[in-house]
C-alpha cells in the first residue's frame, strides 16, 4: 500500500493510496481522526454507479463518520469507475445497458450482468484493501462495517456475504435481481434504505431483497422520494447503527 497524498482538515486526515493488485493498482482513500488510538472500527464505503471514491456524498459521509463516530473510513474506485481503466468487457456491457435504456427497453438483465462482472473484481480487491488497512498502525484490526447504496449495495451484498470480518452493514437502493443468492448468505445486522418512489428500483424488488437477507437483526427504512433523495437524517441513523455494532 503506497500513500500518495495526505491532507488534514477539521480534525480529519485524508490519505490517498494505491494498492497493487491482480488487475493493476487499486486507487483508494482513507479517512481517520487526527487523534491517536490503538485501534479503531473501520467502515468500508462503496460509491454509487458513475461515481468514484471522492464523490461529494462519499466524502461528506466519511468525514461525519470519522468526526462524530471516531471511525476510520476507506473508499476505493470500483472497476471502470473514477481513476480506473475500462476493459473491453466493461465497454461491451455498459454499451449494451445504455442501448437498452435509450431505446426504452428493459435494461435489467444488462445491469445485472454489469453488477456481476464488477462484483467478481471488487470483492477480492476490497478484501486485499481490508488486509492492508488493518495492518496500518493508525487503524489496526478493529471491527469492520460496510456502507453502500445503489451500485454500492450491488457490490456490497457479495462482499458482506464473503467477508467474515464485516460485522454490520448499511445497504439499500437496490433490488433482488442478481443479489438474492448472496443476500441469503448474510447474517450480520443490517440497515436497509428504500426510497419509496424510486424511479430506478421498483418497490417490490427492494422489499424482495430485504426479505432475502438471513440476518435476524435487519431494519428497512423507507422514505418518500426518488432514488437520489435519501433524507439527511438517515446518515445520523447509519452513524448510530455502526456505533451500536462496532464500538
237 binds a second copy (CB under 8 A): yes
Stretches 47-55, 56-64, 78-86, 228-236: which one binds a second copy (CB under 8 A)?
228-236
Q: Are the C-beta atoms of 212 and 7 separated by less than 8 Å?
A: no
218 binds a second copy (CB under 8 A): yes
Residue closer to a second copy by CB (options 18, 215) is 215
Stretches 46-54, 57-65, 116-124, 210-218: which one binds a second copy (CB under 8 A)?
210-218
Stretches 42-50, 51-59, 128-136, 235-243: which one binds a second copy (CB under 8 A)?
235-243
- Contact with a second copy (CB under 8 A): which of 98, 101, 226, 240? 240
210 binds a second copy (CB under 8 A): yes
Stretches 12-20, 120-128, 139-147, 211-219: which one binds a second copy (CB under 8 A)?
211-219
Site for a second copy in 143-182 (CB under 8 A): none
Residue closer to a second copy by CB (options 102, 216) is 216
98 binds a second copy (CB under 8 A): no
- Contact with a second copy (CB under 8 A): which of 37, 39, 220, 227? 220
- Contact with a second copy (CB under 8 A): which of 66, 111, 221, 235? 221
Q: Which residues pair with 171 in a beta bridge?
A: 192
Q: What are phi and psi of 200, to 5 degrees?
A: -110, -30
187 binds a second copy (CB under 8 A): no
- Name the site residues for a second copy (rule: CB under 8 A): 196, 210, 216-224, 231, 233, 236-237, 240, 244
Amino acid at each position: 500500500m503506497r500513500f500518495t497524498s495526505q491532507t488534514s482538515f477539521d480534525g480529519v486526515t485524508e490519505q490517498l493510496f494505491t494498492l497493487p493488485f491482480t488487475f493493476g493498482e487499486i486507487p483508494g482513500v482513507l479517512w481517520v481522526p487526527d487523534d491517536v488510538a490503538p485501534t479503531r472500527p473501520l467502515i468500508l464505503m462503496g460509491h454509487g454507479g458513475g461515481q468514484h471514491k471522492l464523490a461529494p456524498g462519499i466524502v461528506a459521509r466519511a468525514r461525519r463518520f470519522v468526526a462524530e463516530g471516531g471511525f476510520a473510513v476507506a473508499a476505493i474506485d470500483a472497476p471502470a469507475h473514477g481513476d480506473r481503466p475500462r476493459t473491453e468487457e466493461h465497454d461491451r456491457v455498459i454499451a449494451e445497458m445504455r442501448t437498452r435504456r435509450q431505446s426504452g427497453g428493459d435494461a435489467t438483465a444488462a445491469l445485472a450482468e454489469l453488477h456481476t462482472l464488477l462484483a467478481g473484481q471488487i470483492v477480492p480487491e476490497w478484501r486485499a484493501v481490508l488486509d492492508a488497512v488493518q495492518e496500518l498502525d493508525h487503524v489496526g484490526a478493529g471491527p469492520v462495517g460496510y456502507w453502500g447504496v445503489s451500485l454500492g449495495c450491488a457490490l456490497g451484498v457479495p462482499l458482506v456475504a464473503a467477508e467474515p470480518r464485516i460485522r454490520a452493514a448499511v445497504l439499500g437502493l437496490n433490488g433482488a435481481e442478481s443479489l438474492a443468492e448472496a443476500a441469503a448468505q448474510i447474517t450480520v445486522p443490517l440497515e436497509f434504505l428504500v426510497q419509496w418512489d424510486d424511479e430506478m428500483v421498483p418497490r417490490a424488488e427492494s422489499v424482495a431483497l430485504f426479505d432475502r437477507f438471513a440476518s435476524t437483526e435487519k431494519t428497512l427504512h423507507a422514505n418518500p422520494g426518488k432514488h437520489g433523495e435519501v433524507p439527511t437524517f438517515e446518515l445520523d441513523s447509519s452513524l448510530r447503527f455502526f456505533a451500536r455494532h462496532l464500538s
